[in-house]
């Protein structure tokens, strides 16, 4: 459908109003379910009893990586970021872990090196270079932009399949909040396939 046709459709105010009334009948009950869904998702961990975990801290930043004890590979990682340390020498096993994946993979840090420094193996995954150096890096830069403004970033990264040597997908949920008040500024939930071409629209600080 062309943009013009869509514009016409959107001008059918009466039809929209009718449909809206119908929606109004259908949606209130949905609201009753909201609270039940609103666990603190950033802290939520699936089936934690089945997994081991490792904690990494750097300054005020901390993260917990849950991993499959059989494979040593991550299932989920959650963390809090209050400071950005920028670039620093790397001494972890990212390169070796990247080689566990496909040709063209990097060893990608679930929680960026700029925030947590050298990372235990469980927090690094084979990640296609286009994603690691593209959309994923842009997302990390966005987090750094928020932190530079004094905000706090909490995140949870789910790995799919859980514990896979080479993940197929990642889901990242992150919140931006004011650390002085706790007020939630923003929440985003993004899906990334571990293939080329993934994009992330980095914010413009200005």
Maximum Cα interatomic distance, the chain, rounded to a whole number of Å: 64
The yes or no reply on residue 135 touching other proteins (CB under 8 A) is yes
Q: Are 104 and 134 in contact (CB under 8 A)?
A: no
Of 146, 170, 189, 166, nearest to 41 by C-alpha is 189
Q: Is 83 in the site for other proteins (CB under 8 A)?
A: no
Please report how close the Cβ of residue 55 comes to other proteins at its closest, in angstroms.
Answer: 23
Q: Which of 195, 122, 135 is nearest to 165 (CA)?
A: 122
Select 100 or 173, whichever has its Cβ closest to other proteins: 173
**Number of residues written out for the chain:** 206
Q: Which backbone phi and psi does 108 adopt, to 5 degrees?
A: -100, 130
In the complex with other proteins, the residue whose CB is nearer, 129 or 187, is: 187
Span from 58-66, 90-98, 112-120, 168-176 in contact with other proteins (CB under 8 A): 168-176
Residue the block writes with tokens 């990390």:
140
The position carrying tokens 């040597």 is 165
- By CB under 8 A, which span of 11-19, 93-101, 112-120, 121-129 interacts with other proteins? 11-19
With CB under 8 A as the contact rule, which of the stretches 30-38, 47-55, 108-116, 118-126 interacts with other proteins? 30-38
Binding site for other proteins (CB under 8 A): 1, 3, 6, 10, 16-28, 30-35, 37-41, 135, 145-146, 149, 151, 169, 171, 173, 175, 184-192, 197-201, 203-206
């Amino acid at each position: 459908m062309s943009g013009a046709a869509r514009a016409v459709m959107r001008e059918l105010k009466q039809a929209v109003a009718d449909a809206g009334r119908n929606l109004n009948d259908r949606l209130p009950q949905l609201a009753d379910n909201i609270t039940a869904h609103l666990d603190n998702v950033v802290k939520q961990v699936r089936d934690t009893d089945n997994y081991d975990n490792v904690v990494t801290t750097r300054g005020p930043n901390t993260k917990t990586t849950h991993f499959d004890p059989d494979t040593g590979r991550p299932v989920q990682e959650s963390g809090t970021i209050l400071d950005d340390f920028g670039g620093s020498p790397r001494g972890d096993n990212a390169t070796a872990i990247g080689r566990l994946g496909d040709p063209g993979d990097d060893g990608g840090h679930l929680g960026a090196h700029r925030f947590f420094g050298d990372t235990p193996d469980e927090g690094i995954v084979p990640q296609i270079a286009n994603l690691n150096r593209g959309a994923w890096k842009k997302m990390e830069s966005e987090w750094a932009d928020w932190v530079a403004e004094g905000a706090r970033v909490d995140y949870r990264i789910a790995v799919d399949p859980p514990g896979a040597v080479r993940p197929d997908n990642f889901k990242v949920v992150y919140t931006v909040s004011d650390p002085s008040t706790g007020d939630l500024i923003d929440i985003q939930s993004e899906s990334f396939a571990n293939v080329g071409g993934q994009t992330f629209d980095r914010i413009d600080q200005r």
